[in-house]
Structure 1
Amino acid sequence: MSTSHGRLLPVTNRKAIDSSGRIASLYDAYKDLIFESINLSMKGKRCQEIKSRKCMIINGNRDQKENILKTIGVENELRLSLSLNLRDKTGLAEILDYSNPINEYTRFFYYFYLGREEQVGDNPIRISYSDKPTKPPIGTTHIITGIKTGIEIIAVLQLTSDTQRIVEIDNALQRLRTFLLNDDRILKLTQQEENLLTNSIHTKIYSNTHDLRDINRLDDVCRFLKQAQNKTINDIVYYILRPINWLYPFYTGPGVEFISLPEHLSNNIEEYVLQLRDDILKLKKCIKEDLLKLLNGYLKDRLSNLNQQWFAVNKKYTNEIDRLSKLVTGVRSGQTSISTVEQTLESDQKIQLQHMIHDLKQNINDLQQKGYFISDLDRLKFQYLNVADYGIDSVDNERTIECKLMPNYERDWVLCSNDSLNETNPSQLDHLRHGMIEELKYNPNIRLLYADFSYCSFELQYMLKLPSDKHYQPNNKSKSTPKIRSSMELSTNTSPRTKVFTDTNEPLVQPPKPQTSTTMPTEARAYQLKPSKSENSYQASTNLPTVHSLSNATQTSLLSQNKPYTSSPRPI
């Protein structure tokens, strides 16, 4: 402790996540920022060699919410300033922006080497200085009166999921730790261990030493650290702070008072903010990377809506961080009471933000499930169609829907449904898809389509099949529409080669080659499958809609509404 006019003034240590400071630099502890320096004489400076070492290997896990900076000893006040964005994340603090998931395959390799300590004398009267301002700059709360130099690193390692290799890598990490803490001069690793450290893990280095940040191999980092133990290290790992009254004993302006938040309150705010930040980063990655890849060009409007929703959540999150930052700096400067902070933490803004995050997570999950569904359709040889892209709305009917969805009437087979029907009748969906897949085996020229009515205003009351090939009566030159039985009506002991969408008494005839002019068939068959009262049985509609003859102009207009065929996404 130092004194000022008989008063004891605390001496504070701060991790040097910003290495720009030096002895006599001014410091703003409200936001943990370093200001300009005062020219102090170094005649009274004291130096002490220390040369202490510390090394830890910390296992990650899925439930690990503890801030890794807390584990390595970063002070509560500095961690809170970092989490509230009161200062930039530099040096070791950049680990807060680590974007990969932390789980049971994560390892933190921490090393700390303290070389020496330098301080000015305890009594400022005996220190000579030049160009000392008559009063400190606004916002100054402390002055740096000492530094501790050395090396500090955190290596984040993402391991393979192979259990045997994890054991071998953990053993190699222990050998590296022993090498750094003992007096061995040569690192002895087997070729297999070197290969494991190189090929089986992803390594990211955070350090106060710039030379270490570009090294990707942990064994090379350890060799560098070992050599540095025998050298003079000038990189700062700690600042020693004294209150500004130590240098300006009669100053009573802003910055004189600094009040630390109680540890429990500081921890509560930090945990809340870190959880918010984690949610925001995960939501952003899911929307802008994972869903974008999964949907593979489908449902662009839905994805755009999610992006807009995320922007709104992120703006609300930024406002919440600003609100908490003002509360914290208010307490530190003595302008806000601690009780006020405790009472206002559970604000309407916080509750609203939590609801917005919950809703966004639910919408992401829904679209993610749709992405998996589309991938499954692709695996089953179905092309996915979002009928909202085809101009279908509440004024349409089955005839107009059939015209809009079928650019290639001769070979398209369409299964119409929506999310609600699929959830209510999953067995019916599976049955219909299976029937169409069986037909594809014996008629490879057809194209299977799934028409999704989930995002349009047309209310689909039941799953609907729209077969679009033409059938002909045998030995009859005139075209006719044979009596068709639903696939749900087919006998369970039908032979494997039974055509699912055709009358079993009438053979399927391939349609003739299309004429040069654009024509639409005069008749088409549509299937309406209404769920019966029984959960696993269905009744075919007796009113089968038909497409009446259309003029060439009308046909061309309808065909122009259809989008070109595009390949379905590959399964993720």
Structure 2
Amino acid sequence: MAQKQTIGDNKKPTLVSINRTAIDPNGCIGSLYNGYRDVLCEKLPWSNEDKLTKVLKKPQCIMKKGKKDQNESLLQIINVPEGLRLSVLLRPTGNNGIAAIINYPYPINEYTRFLLYSYVYEEEQVSEKLSKKQKMVKSVISLASATHIITCISYGIDVVVVLQLPFDKALATAIDDALQRICIHLNDEQNVLILKSDDEHILEQITNTMVYSNIPSLMELSTVYDVYLYIDENKNENIHRPIMYTLQPIKWLFPDYNEPNAYFNLIPPEFDREVEQYLIYLSNVLKNIKYSLDFSDNGLMYKYLEDQIYKKQCQWLILSKMHDHIIARLRRLIIDLRKNRTTVSKRDQLFYHVDHVNFEKSAQILQENLNDFKNKEKLIVGLRDQHFEYCNAAQLNLTKYNYEKTLKCKLKMKDRNNKILCTTDTLNKKNGSKLNLLRNQLAKECEINQNLYITYADFSYSTVELEDIEILTTSQTNNNKKSHLQKSSSTVTKNKTSTSQQSLPSSPIINDNINILLLGETGVGKSTFINAFVNYLKFKTFEQAQSNTPIVLIPVSFLMTVGDDFQERLIKFGDFDSSNNEDFDHPGESVTQHCRMYEFHLSDNDEKKLCIIDTPGFGDTRGLDQDDLNMQDILEYINELTHLNAICFLLKPNASKLHTFFRMCFIQLLDLLGPNAYQNIIFCFTNARSTFYGPGDTAPLIKTMLKSFSINNIPFKKDNTFCFDNESFRYLVALQNGIEFNNDEKHDYKESWSISVKESYRLIDYIHGNLITYRSNNECKSNKHAQVEISHMIRPMLTTMQNILQNLILSKTNIKNKSITMFPKAIHRPASICLSCKPYPLQFGNFWIARNIPHEFLKTCLVCSCTIEQHIAIHYVLNSEYSNKSVSNHPEEMINMVNQLCTIGAEFDYFLVHITRSSKNDLFLPGLLRMIDEENKLCQSQKPDHLNSQLIKELTRLKCQYENRIEEFKSNQQLIDLLIINEHITTIRKYPLIQMQLDIMKQTQKMMTEPYEVSQD
């Protein structure tokens, strides 16, 4: 039977000195040291006469080769003492200098090299005369948490350069030879470095270089040759910092000191190494998964499976959090063992804890997912060879009811026949032979018929579940006939969606569609009105409506009392499962979440479409802030419309008062659109049967409000007022739910239907015959219009400033032919970034970038449980790429650019706060502060951080510049007029990266608000 291993036996340990690598360089002779955690404590007043200094000038340089299955830890390779290695691995943050090597992000293999150089310039230690010192520091010691005191320090240069060589044996051998010549010289074995003529060129072939050192200036270098030059030129200069501390126990200095911290229990070496190997294993699991994930992020997979990669990055962050919990538990245990406060009699308590089991399970699932990515990449490459276009169906917002029609529409190619192979990974595994047969069949057809376009539609990540592999076919589009599947061009946007990595057919900027903007209070029944209005136009008689299934564009849900005992029944109709724009779960809140257009052909022979724009309601129970956000969404949407035919306010008759935000909505809308839109305002009343199809008591309230505006040309009369009763539509829906009605009720609904049909056609005729189409342009003609434009520009301005500064810093570090390129990408579903959730760290050279993973936001956040207030809506994702070419701008020009952006940002903020009275959500300063905070957190958690630290300094400088500009405006009591703001907006648009982001924002809006077209079948 195996004996139990017991660590810690409560015996008083013997007093022995220990060596510790100087991770924290702030130690000096007499500094107190906490050996439990391996951190410095306070400094004791130690005079120079109590120190002895000896100059050594002792160099050592060696090169070590990595191995594919590296058993030795990185800390062992660089000779960090045992015991300290454990503390470094258990430390959540603060591993600086040479210890930061534990953050090395790449796998170690046979082409990895470690160049270790140590130059001990001098050694400092305590003198023998310490009797006076004991009395002086006794009171300090009693208050400290120290276990040891520093009695000897080696000063000098300590550096390790980790190199990744090309996967080429001959080239690797040549690089090794050059590295050996550098080692020989740095060991002072020859006075002059003898490099071959092409050695510098050979060293430039090293694919990656990471420098870790106790000298900050060395960590800023990016090539091994630069490191060599720096050492050679500065090793005898005054740059030396601590390399190694020798520690003596407190009782060595004060034998009568008997506080609990006077005793430090050295953990047995075998157990120490066992824990160390376990920690290295956990760390390697995390690193290897991240490396694979980051590799997918930069390759073919990101092009097609962007959302899936984001989800895996979220899973990695969760796995990292599990890792942190394990580390925290082990850290507490090791500290208790060193304090001799506990024993470990079972290894299960240490290594097979429940948190370890969860970590292993999650890591295995994530690794399997990444393996699936590799298989998917092979599949896509194979499909390309067969001339298939790959399409990730999850990016097309398909539903189980409309996926065939929508897929055909979105993937249809003009002047070509289309065949779409629809399948999933699961179906492929079950029916591999069928898949291969269909693939080969379509590939052969494509070879024979050059007019055939073939697509592989992958439903593996879609909410639509396919029952079997299937092929959809679309016919060639006639050039001379406008396709009924073409999207409406109600927004001025270049249609270049990336849903299937192909351009969708673009629409003309100006069209003849009838655009009606529908506005109203929450609960007034806008969505029901749209459903009813379409049915009124579709079915002219009550009999037709009863004999057909009603058209339900927007899912409906309402209570109806039935029977003699007035039982309440919940009536539901429509595709609730696939609806991502309606929330029926929170009474009093706006059901409609975002603006959306619904299209309807007025007649079978008329290509003109009626386009009704549903909007979020105002008067939301969440308060004025939510109303303000909803109104901002409406203003941003209509700001992109080419034209409006009518602006329809939907109300209920006999209202006792108008909602507070109704007036605010009216004012903001008039401010945005201007006087030319006044004549296009119409008023519609719903549930008007109770007022005999009139506006009732609501009419005088509207007249009073309009009169208060001092605007006489907003009409409110019979011609532009329309009264409906939507109960007859609810009757149709109730029939679908099996509700029965008596003859009297049917008679009332029939009369209601007849009147509502007449009003519907009167409304269309009024728009046709009486209204001049309101056409928008891109000029800022009002403060509200400028506010909308600025709100779009804030994020692009901030990210452009960040990118310019990143490349400015890279240019100053003499890193040749390298730059960070940002590129925005449209999103196809509502998303936000969470300020509470940790971002995903990505490394570009020595720069760290925090990727805020988009959280899909439908009715709530689908990724985290953080509050809504912690989420900021985004219109695109922004990714970065480490480019192999430098930027063309001169450093001075780049500084002027960021200064200009910061100054304009301050003026935009002043305009928003003091002129338009905007919400603070879109202000420039909070965005700048978030950016600084994000960079600070990166510096705390990721190493090396010298480039990000420089970025923080630059951003902080811009913050001061911003504050100074705001103070200038306040002290001078300046106001910024609209002309200046328009000039600034024009200037901002000239920045290519900003304009690119603005264009992508429009693309996103078009994808997320693409019209829902009513079938004529």
TM-score bracket, normalised by the shorter chain, equals 0.7 to 0.9
Cα distance, 1:128 vs. partner? 7.3
Alignment of 1:22-171 (within 5 A): 22-85=28-91, 88-122=94-128, 124-125=130-131, 127=133, 133-171=139-177
Residue 333 of structure 2 aligns with which residue? 327
Residue 178 of structure 1 aligns with which residue? 184
Cα distance, 1:198 vs. partner? 2.7
Q: Deviations over 1:341-382 (max 9, x none)?
A: 674332122122111111111122223422442344345332
Alignment of 1:301-320 (within 5 A): 301-320=307-326
Structure 2 residue corresponding to 1:241, chosen from 232, 247, 266: 247
Change (3 A) 1:341 1:35: farther
Return the letter of the residue paired with 1:272.
Y
Residue 15 of structure 1 aligns with which residue? 21
Cα distance, 1:285 vs. partner? 4.2
Q: Deviations over 1:294-353 (max 9, x none)?
A: 333534553343233323322211111110010000101111114366743321221221
Distance in 1 (CA, whole Å) between partners of 2:140 and 2:273 is 38
Distance in 2 (CA, whole Å) between partners of 1:279 and 1:189 is 40
Change (3 A) 1:223 1:414: closer
SS of aligned partner of 1:185: coil
Is 1:518–2:463 an aligned residue pair? no
Alignment of 1:363-382 (within 5 A): 363-382=369-388
Q: Which moved more, 1:451-460 or 1:407-416?
A: 451-460
Q: Which moved more, 1:15-24 or 1:224-233?
A: 224-233
Cα distance, 1:76 vs. partner? 1.4
Question: What RMSD, in angstroms, separates the aligned Cα atoms of the two structures?
Answer: 3.4
SS of aligned partner of 1:251: coil
Alignment of 1:480-491 (within 5 A): none
Change (3 A) 1:461 1:48: same
Structure 1 residue corresponding to 2:473, chosen from 458, 464, 467: 467
Distance in 1 (CA, whole Å) between partners of 2:259 and 2:341 is 13
SS of aligned partner of 2:244: strand
Is 1:279–2:285 an aligned residue pair? yes
Distance in 2 (CA, whole Å) between partners of 1:232 and 1:391 is 64
Return the letter of the residue paired with 1:54.
Q
Distance in 1 (CA, whole Å) between partners of 2:110 and 2:378 is 26
Cα distance, 1:226 vs. partner? 4.2
Residue 455 of structure 2 aligns with which residue? 449
Cα distance, 1:90 vs. partner? 0.9
Alpha carbons 2:389, 2:456 under 8 Å: kept: yes
Cα distance, 1:64 vs. partner? 0.9
Distance in 1 (CA, whole Å) between partners of 2:438 and 2:161 is 54
Q: Deviations over 1:162-181 (max 9, x none)?
A: 22211111111111122222
SS of aligned partner of 1:422: helix
After TM superposition, the score normalised by the length of structure 2 is 0.44
Distance in 2 (CA, whole Å) between partners of 1:342 and 1:435 is 57
Residue 405 of structure 1 aligns with which residue? 407
Residue 384 of structure 1 aligns with which residue? 390
Change (3 A) 1:9 1:388: closer
Change (3 A) 1:153 1:554: farther
Distance in 2 (CA, whole Å) between partners of 1:326 and 1:152 is 30
Is 1:253–2:259 an aligned residue pair? yes
Alpha carbons 2:29, 2:51 under 8 Å: kept: no
Q: Which sections of structure 2, spanning at least 5 residues, go unmatched?
A: 1-12, 487-599, 610-826, 829-1017
Change (3 A) 1:189 1:422: same
Change (3 A) 1:226 1:424: same
Q: Which moved more, 1:376-385 or 1:241-250?
A: 376-385
Distance in 2 (CA, whole Å) between partners of 1:169 and 1:90 is 29
Distance in 1 (CA, whole Å) between partners of 2:246 and 2:314 is 46
Return the letter of the residue paired with 1:515.
K
SS of aligned partner of 2:276: helix
Change (3 A) 1:25 1:368: same
Q: Deviations over 1:182-223 (max 9, x none)?
A: 442211112211211134453222111233223334234334
SS of aligned partner of 1:190: coil
Cα distance, 1:421 vs. partner? 3.1
Cα distance, 1:101 vs. partner? 2.5
| Total equivalences in the alignment | 481
Distance in 2 (CA, whole Å) between partners of 1:329 and 1:519 is 69
Q: Deviations over 1:149-168 (max 9, x none)?
A: 22221111111222221111
Q: Which moved more, 1:238-247 or 1:417-426?
A: 417-426
Q: Deviations over 1:260-300 (max 9, x none)?
A: 21112111211211221222233334445524643335345
Is 1:419–2:425 an aligned residue pair? yes
Cα distance, 1:240 vs. partner? 1.5
Q: Which moved more, 1:49-58 or 1:102-111?
A: 49-58
Alpha carbons 2:121, 2:236 under 8 Å: kept: no
Return the letter of the residue paired with 2:405.
C
Cα distance, 1:389 vs. partner? 5.1
Alpha carbons 1:143, 1:243 under 8 Å: kept: yes
Distance in 1 (CA, whole Å) between partners of 2:143 and 2:282 is 34
SS of aligned partner of 1:188: coil
Change (3 A) 1:341 1:51: farther
Return the letter of the residue paired with 1:18.
D
Amino-acid identity (%)? 31
Q: Which sections of structure 1, spanning at least 5 residues, go unmatched?
A: 1-6, 471-510, 521-550, 558-562, 565-572
Cα distance, 1:73 vs. partner? 2.2
SS of aligned partner of 1:184: coil
SS of aligned partner of 1:191: coil
Distance in 1 (CA, whole Å) between partners of 2:356 and 2:482 is 66
Distance in 2 (CA, whole Å) between partners of 1:365 and 1:380 is 23
SS of aligned partner of 2:287: helix
SS of aligned partner of 1:55: strand
Alpha carbons 1:142, 1:241 under 8 Å: kept: yes
Distance in 2 (CA, whole Å) between partners of 1:23 and 1:50 is 18
Cα distance, 1:402 vs. partner? 3.6
Distance in 2 (CA, whole Å) between partners of 1:553 and 1:277 is 64
SS of aligned partner of 1:296: helix
Cα distance, 1:231 vs. partner? 5.7
Cα distance, 1:461 vs. partner? 4.6
Alpha carbons 1:33, 1:87 under 8 Å: kept: no
Return the letter of the residue paired with 2:446.
L
Return the letter of the residue paired with 1:403.
K
Residue 667 of structure 2 aligns with which residue? none
Q: Which structure exhibits the higher relative contact order, with contacts defined as CA atoms closer than 8 Å and separated by 6 or more residues?
A: 1
SS of aligned partner of 1:69: helix
Alpha carbons 1:81, 1:87 under 8 Å: kept: no
Distance in 1 (CA, whole Å) between partners of 2:226 and 2:317 is 42
Residue 490 of structure 1 aligns with which residue? none
